[in-house]
Amino acid sequence: GCGTLAVLEQNEAGIVLLRSFDWNDGLFDVTWSENNEHVLVTSSGDGSLQIWDTAKTKGPLQVYKEHTQEAYSVDWSQTRGEQLVVSGSWDQTAKLWDPAVGKSLCTFKDHEGVIYSTIWSPHIPGCFASASGDQTLRVWDVKAPGVKLVIPAHQAEILSCDWCKYDENLLVTGAVDCSLKGWDLRNIRQPVFILLGHTYAIRRVKFSPFHPTLLASCSYDFTVRFWDFSKPNPLLETVEHHTEFTCGLDLSLHNRGQV
């Protein structure tokens, strides 16, 4: 159905709604601008991306409509010196955008299934990873055509991936097979860790911004789980506070304990 972008603020009274924007299709993902605190980008079921300004009350500043199916993932580049957005779609392509330009700069077409997740490297300019229903994790360089690296990471659809904030060669994938796997880009023959515990598909996984070996995941099993892959018993905590599918999570960059 229709989608709403809710912009929230945390103050003494708790979490309050600052502003909300409506779109005429479902909204699947959102990313904050890295160069303007008022700007964010959403991706939609109609294949479009929307750029919003929280300082304005009206609709989006811009709409980019190029994907031919659901735009399922969007991320703003993390490295200094570039302002790029990457989107991933069920049309099996990822697209590169400069928010100042009215059309995509480039389209990446090697996946053989829907793309569920596209995440920029926090370390390497112009480098991003994508996770797909074709059971692969792929790494791309926007300056070079074609895929840089293909990792057959799971024997199931991969719904999420993330980069370690402390190691430019380490990524994690989460899949329909209920497992999380860590991958070292210098040796992709086998995972560097496998984390088991979820009982249904893992929908989102995120590395901690504060701890090099800590990550969080959420799943269709209604739980959020915290892991430390350096420990013999890596599962730190299972949180069962949701009563439905847990579809997304992120860790605060400002408050160590906040998810």
Asked if residue 105 belongs to a domain, the reply is yes
Asked if residue 168 belongs to a domain, the reply is no
Partnered with residue 174 across adjacent β-strands are 160, 180
Strands 137-141 and 127-132: antiparallel
Structure confidence at residue 215 as a pLDDT band (50, 70, 90): very high
pTM: 0.95
- Cα gap 231→218, rounded to integer Å: 20
Does pLDDT of 146 surpass 80?
Answer: no
For residue 98, what pLDDT is reported?
A: 94
Number of domains in the chain: 1
The predicted-structure confidence for 162-176, as pLDDT tens digits, reads as follows: 999 999 999 999 999
The average pLDDT across 42-53 equals 97
Asked if residue 200 belongs to a domain, the reply is no
Range of the domain at 69: 3-152
For residue 133, what pLDDT is reported?
A: 97
Asked if residue 239 belongs to a domain, the reply is no
The average pLDDT across 237-247 equals 96
Q: Which residues contact 25 (CB under 8 A, 6 or more apart)?
A: 2, 3, 44, 45, 46, 48
For residue 6, what pLDDT is reported?
A: 95
For residue 135, what pLDDT is reported?
A: 97
Asked if residue 75 belongs to a domain, the reply is yes
Structure confidence at residue 191 as a pLDDT band (50, 70, 90): very high
Please name which of 42, 5, 8, 46 lies closest in space to residue 22, comparing C-alpha atoms. Answer: 5
Burial class (CB in 10 A: 0-12, 13-18, 19+), 156: middle
- Counting every residue written for the chain, the total comes to 259
Asked if residue 259 belongs to a domain, the reply is no
Of 9-13, 62-66, 78-82, 120-124, which gets the smallest average pLDDT? 78-82
For residue 216, what pLDDT is reported?
A: 98
DSSP string for residues in 196-210: ---SS-EEEEEE-SS
- Cα gap 234→236, rounded to integer Å: 6
Residue type, 153: A
The average pLDDT across 67-81 equals 94
Percent of the chain clearing pLDDT 90 (strictly above): 89
For residue 134, what pLDDT is reported?
A: 97
Does pLDDT of 81 surpass 90?
Answer: no
The average pLDDT across 119-132 equals 95
For residue 257, what pLDDT is reported?
A: 87
The average pLDDT across 126-152 equals 93
CATH assignment of the domain containing 128 = 2.130.10.10
The structure tokens 């024997």 sit at 155
Does pLDDT of 145 surpass 90?
Answer: no
Structure confidence at residue 137 as a pLDDT band (50, 70, 90): very high
CB 150 within 8 A of CB 140: no
Structure confidence at residue 78 as a pLDDT band (50, 70, 90): confident
From the CB of residue 122, how many other CB atoms can be counted at a distance below 10 Å? 17
The one-character DSSP state at 78 is -
Does pLDDT of 205 surpass 80?
Answer: yes
Does pLDDT of 234 surpass 90?
Answer: yes
CB 61 within 8 A of CB 52: yes
CB 104 within 8 A of CB 97: yes
Does pLDDT of 82 surpass 90?
Answer: no
Q: For the chain, how big is the Rg over CA atoms in Å? A: 18
Asked if residue 135 belongs to a domain, the reply is yes
Asked if residue 213 belongs to a domain, the reply is no
Does pLDDT of 228 surpass 80?
Answer: yes
The average pLDDT across 72-78 equals 96
